[in-house]
Structure 1
């Protein structure tokens, strides 16, 4: 199996078949465990049976059209549940939950937080009724960012999960550092998936470096616990890949998206089951990643797995070609794909209900940031097509072909040199770490590098003779 840039993940071939079989078994088990999930009204402390009922309720999706009162009640229920788990006299005892179950608790908790923040911001931007605004204004801490982060960090700390993962990476016994709480499966699983939850929350808040930093102790391979749950597996690679893309580490983003998309294609026959809503969400997330990988390849052309490249051509057709050509006509496509595929960003603080015009849509804000990057590299494909034809070319001559000011062109060239010709690529260790690689080593078929000296551009890998160059440039200039 080949991946972008010619790299495979550790033990890729050895683990693939085992993981696919394990996933099929997990799906079958989930059908038995999840058939009778229901939401209870309040947290009670009558024993393990009551706690199990509350965990099942916490994993059950909230109705899409739930009232504001119901959303408040759900928040109170989560607070009571996590308070009981974290602050009881000693670890609570309960039958070992499944990976699916533990993931669903954390996933639904963060989803309701995300949905409430988006709802509150939308209400504040659309001149709400006084009654609705007053209720939200009087409850600024309900589904507050601090409260959600506090729960996730507390579960991680109580379970000692980072210490356990670090010990495992060193080849040591994780139980030796697990402590009284971390040795219990309930705490270990909730703590583990809280790390994945933090990745998601920090990404929703727009802190992409911190999002990647949270996974320092988790190994990105098929032996990881998140790989046992398809939704967790998919979300992990989606948010890691998206964070890399927003940090302009396009080769790493392509690698992450390629890995999970190839895996999804191999397990698609198992993605039908009793929880159809969850598997529909998996299909939607997969579509989003195809859009994101199309954007990344447009910024940094690279070799893709054949199945992914074929799918991109089938899904986007001419749109994909326009993205790769760049130019003004590609701008609407960049914006369309980004907004359809990006996370539903949220604000970390409550909005201003008294001044609706001051509240901005976080998705629009991050779209503007992304489009600024697009505009900075808009003519890169065209510039490269010119530079390929020369060994030395003056900035003035190139600016005449592009019909831009020489100094503006110089800025474009410097930005492209800094961002495209040399990039950090992750190999091992923390996801923010990596080796600096040049364009000729990043898997690109461009094979182009250049240096600027005064008013001259020195290009390597020139392809054509001077006579053909002049003829080609004249015709290409007319086309644009």
Structure 2
């Protein structure tokens, strides 16, 4: 998921005092967003005005501008490889120079554009390489492209990209600085020689967001969430001031939660960013508006999936938009049964990231290659199949306080053992880990269903689920908390 646009650099936005619980904060974020889309005419940023490095064997100014500029959609494979080499040279220079590179960074918008475009090109190249491997033909054009890929197996390699992101984080010591801020300490003593420079600090910061994205693309959702341990998810955060970074962060957090079956946390992430987008839609225009609109629709598809698994009340704005976009599909998914499976698959394909494989494909034995998108889809659909009869089972259980397992199996036209497995799965899924504070992987185990039951032999005993003390504590802690 990448919200891409040609970079429009603004004069570095001043730090604004932000109050999490006031409308002043929303206005501050809106002002930041106006700057990003060039809301006021005549404010385009000139990178050359802020460069303090002279000429040399490396044209650093040109490299910095190119690093934040989207590659042409129809770029040739040679151009993609050349772009990879350019990024390697740029990051090698920044990371391995004798002392920090003395450059005045234009703004955090520029720093995000560099990391965003770097990962976007990596993702696009991997997807392109996978398509060639899965759909090899006898045409001369494809044979030439495959020959080039064979000669450059390490181009846009997963290890190289992760190495760059981790190196930027380590060199900037941004994790130590963020941890110090969370403890209420001055981060300056932890910054070191490199981390005190804005170039390293900003690139390191957005590299953390980049790691969230890359690990999610690779299918490691728990590691993706763990990368954000040092970043506080509030509107004071740097990523929240850059619309594309804000959108990307909450998309991948929400998607990771969804794949880990933590639907309440996923919905909270999606709702947060969708409400923000709805409040800033009047400022959106041009190519970025079209891109955000498309990504918005994808996120609403994920909201529909999560609501089907975990029904809950949504914000009125989100609820109205969801019904307009996916009302019919949502109704069919909530009804459950085999006829709901194609809807889940359709929405997942439309809204999931473009997953990639950590290793290059085998062009000699294409039948051995695994499509990462199909692999993640199969994992997701197993969860759907395990839960597809849950709505029907719940509708019957709500009518009884005690019911014979065999009788209910007859109503559902399945054998008793199959029904027993459904009930066990549904019982387990009703208890979810829900995040309240601290690292994103942590949380309290709460009962997410209003219906509880127990099985004793062939008898099912049904009761209204009682909200436990831990759930009450969770609600009290989060009553005034904004995610």
TM-score of the pair, normalised by structure 2: 0.87
Aligned positions, number: 439
1:150 aligns with 2:163: yes
Match of 1:360 in 2: 370
Q: Could you tell me which residue of structure 2 aligns to residue 251 of structure 1?
A: 264
Contact 2:39 2:283 in 1 (8 A): no
In the alignment, does 2:313 pair up with 1:303? yes
Q: Structure 1 regions of 5+ residues with no counterpart? A: 1-8, 39-43, 441-446, 463-480
Structure 2 partner of 1:475: none
Distance 1:68 1:48, change over 3 A: closer
Q: Is the 8 A contact 1:97 1:186 kept in 2?
A: no
Q: Residue 278 of structure 2 is aligned with which of 257, 265, 274? A: 265
Query: Taking structure 1 as reference, are residues 160 and 31 closer, same or farther at Cα in structure 2, changes over 3 Å only?
Result: farther
Aligned to 2:13: none
Cα distance in 1 for partners of 2:210, 2:335 equals: 37
Select 2:454's aligned residue among 451, 454, 471: 451
1:69 to 78, 82, 86: 78
Q: Distance in 2 between matches of 1:88 and 1:379?
A: 60
1:320 Cα deviation from its structure 2 partner = 1.6
Q: Would you say 1:226 and 2:226 are equivalent positions? A: no
| Aligned CA-pair RMSD | 2.2
For residues 215 and 422 of structure 1, do their structure 2 counterparts lie closer, same or farther at Cα, with a shift above 3 Å needed? Answer: same
SS at the partner of 2:362? coil
- For residue 439 of structure 2, what is the aligned residue in structure 1? 430
Distance 1:170 1:437, change over 3 A: same
2:262 and 2:40 map into 1 onto residues whose CA distance is 37
- Give unpaired runs (5+ residues) of structure 2: 1-18, 466-483
CA deviation string 1:119-142 (max 9, x = no partner) = 111101112544332221121110
Equivalent residue of 1:21, what SS?
Answer: helix
CA shift in 2, pair 1:144/1:231, >3 Å:
same
Per mean C-alpha deviation after superposition, the further-off stretch among 126-135 and 94-103 is 126-135
- Deviation per CA, 1:59-83, whole angstroms, max 9, x where unpaired? 1111111111101100000000000
* Residue correspondence of structure 1 range 33-182 to structure 2 within 5 A: 46=55, 50-128=59-137, 129-182=142-195
- Aligned with 1:457: secondary structure? strand
Superposition TM-score, scaled by structure 1 size: 0.87
Question: Equivalent residues in 2 for 1:254-333 (5 A)?
Answer: 254-272=267-285, 276-333=286-343
Q: Is the 8 A contact 2:387 2:422 kept in 1?
A: yes
Matches within 5 A, 1:369-388: 369-388=379-398
- Partners of 2:453 and 2:20 lie apart in 1 by 34
Deviations 1:187-214 (A, max 9, x none): 1110000000000000000000000000
Per-residue CA distance 1:429-477 (angstroms, 9 max, x = gap):
100000111125xxxxxx2111222211111139xxxxxxxxxxxxxxx
2: CA distance, partners of 1:284 / 1:214: 27
Query: What is the rounded CA distance, in whole Å, between the counterparts of 1:37 and 1:97 in structure 2?
Result: 7
| Partner residue, 2:347 | 337
C-alpha distance in structure 1 between counterparts of 2:268 and 2:22, whole Å: 13
Q: Is the 8 A contact 1:326 1:378 kept in 2?
A: yes
Matches within 5 A, 1:184-263: 184-263=197-276
Change (3 A) 1:351 1:431: same
Helix, strand or coil for the counterpart of 2:455? strand
